[in-house]
Amino acid sequence: MSPDEKLFKDSVNEFLSKTLNPVWTNIDSEKRIPTEIINKMGEQGLFAIPVPEEYGGQGGNFLLASIAVEEVAYNDPAVATAVFTLLNNSWPFILYLYGNEETKQEILPLVGKGRGFFGIASTESIGGSDVAGERTSARKEGSLYVINGEKIYISGVRESLEQLDLGSWYLIARTGKPEDKHRGLTGFAFIGNKNGRKAENFEYSILNTIGRHAISTGLLRFNNTPIEQKYVIGEENKGFYLAMQGFSLARILVSAANIGAAKWALEQAVRFSRERRMFDDRPIASYQGVSFPIAEVAAKLESARLLVYKAAQLADKIYIKKEAGYRPHDLNYWASIAKIMAVETAFNSAEVAMKTYGAYSYTEEADLFRNMLGVLSYYVGAEGSQNIMRYIVARELIGREYVKA
């Protein structure tokens, strides 16, 4: 890290240690990120970090965004606020790259100020891994597209539709035939709420999730929902390719969130192992059965963080510095490797912290369960499952002609 990046990390952590950290267990219990926290995070410059300032972003890059997201997760290790932050840094960048000028000016400045959200609406009940098989349709009628279908497990639904001035998503819908698979999908900037006005012919509901409660996960239902032409992102039928770029960028920040959560759990294990004494009044840290798993998590955590930085710096070469010889496709491999390692390290760190605490970890008072259930969301899904990460790495390494999903 350069001195400026270190300064940024310290200032973000100082801000979050006062605003977010004191309330992280409350917001998890109350199942809500207070709107004023989102607004303050926006004022602090934690959203749309890689988006240029003329579009209301911070004019930063993906390394700074990764640093910010790690600090957010460290200060809310149930990772709810980190999810909101990582989505509001990765997907707005795709809108900035490929959106229509008017749409960018409508959405991005509000996202940057912490008064808006721009997430991803891809997953359908047929299975989130099969993006090319998605069925939600967008039928062209004059100057409008008419959307029909349902998206499920979508993050940020209540925040977007009930709390903020603007709630929107990169919506993937089928403009071609089902047999066109990934070549028949288009990306839209779907605005579900603007200043309290909901989109026409559109409904939503919230799911009861088992963790990271403060951010909502829900369903978006489209029943002849109209979207104007200006909200098409990029070209018609090219939405799959733009979504894949968005997923890679989001995976870097998912990985950063898991690093922050893993660091928090590791610190709990370290502290408890020093304090808890037994047998000849020795701290449990003096037993290798306790200290070695902690050391192993530390080794994995430090390695995974370097992978996150490597992937983020590669993203910066491709998208921010636009260095010759780098293509968006190059990111798939490193972003997937970072996610494999960061997510599995975070879960391992949560597990080691719980084992170190013993039975106390199984009480609500210990708060470790909030961290474990939060990082579990990234183990089972979210921005692509761990198996899909392995599939991408294998495909890039061995060859597309050998490796099939």
Ligand X SMILES: Cc1cc2nc3c(=O)[nH]c(=O)nc-3n(C[C@H](O)[C@H](O)[C@H](O)COP(=O)(O)OP(=O)(O)OC[C@H]3O[C@@H](n4cnc5c(N)ncnc54)[C@H](O)[C@@H]3O)c2cc1C
* Smallest distance, ligand X to C-beta of residue 55, A: 22
Tell me the C-alpha distance between 251 and 331, whole Å: 10
* Smallest distance, ligand X to C-beta of residue 193, A: 16
Tell me how far the alpha carbon of residue 72 is from its chain's centroid: 12
Site string for ligand X, 155-194 (x = CB under 6 A): x---------------------------------------
Out of 150, 237, 381, 394, which residue is the one contacting ligand X (CB under 6 A)?
381
Site string for ligand X, 359-378 (x = CB under 6 A): ------------------x-
Residue nearest to ligand X (CB): 381
345 binding ligand X? (CB under 6 A): no
- DSSP codes, 248-284: HHHHHHHHHHHHHHHHHHHHHHHHHHHH-EETTTEEG
Three-state secondary-structure class, residue 91? helix
Angle (nearest 5°) at CA 213 between 211 and 219? 100
114 binding ligand X? (CB under 6 A): no
Describe the chain by its helix, strand, coil percentages, rounded to 5.
Answer: 60, 15, 25
Select 121 or 294, whichever has its Cβ closest to ligand X.
121
Tell me the C-alpha distance between 59 and 128, whole Å: 32
Select 62 or 153, whichever has its Cβ closest to ligand X.
153
Residues near ligand X (CB under 6 A), total: 24
268 binding ligand X? (CB under 6 A): no
Q: Is the dihedral of CA 354, 357, 359, 364 positive or negative?
A: negative
Site string for ligand X, 275-294 (x = CB under 6 A): --------------------
Instruction: Please report, as residue ranges, which positions from 122 to 151 form the binding site for ligand X (by CB under 6 A).
Output: 122-123, 127-129
Tell me the C-alpha distance between 131 and 112, whole Å: 28
- Tokens of residue 386, six digits: 């761990």
Q: Of 121-129, 159-167, 194-202, 280-288, which segment contacts ligand X by CB under 6 A?
A: 121-129
247 binding ligand X? (CB under 6 A): no
Please state, in angstroms and as integers, the Cα–Cα distance from residue 323 to each residue in 95, 250, 327, following that order. Answer: 21, 21, 9
Q: Of 2-10, 117-125, 231-239, 313-321, which segment contacts ligand X by CB under 6 A?
A: 117-125
Q: At what angle do helices 62-75 and 239-275 cross, to 10 degrees?
A: 40
Q: Which residues bind ligand X (CB under 6 A)?
A: 119-123, 127-129, 153-155, 209, 217, 377, 380-385, 387-388, 391, 405
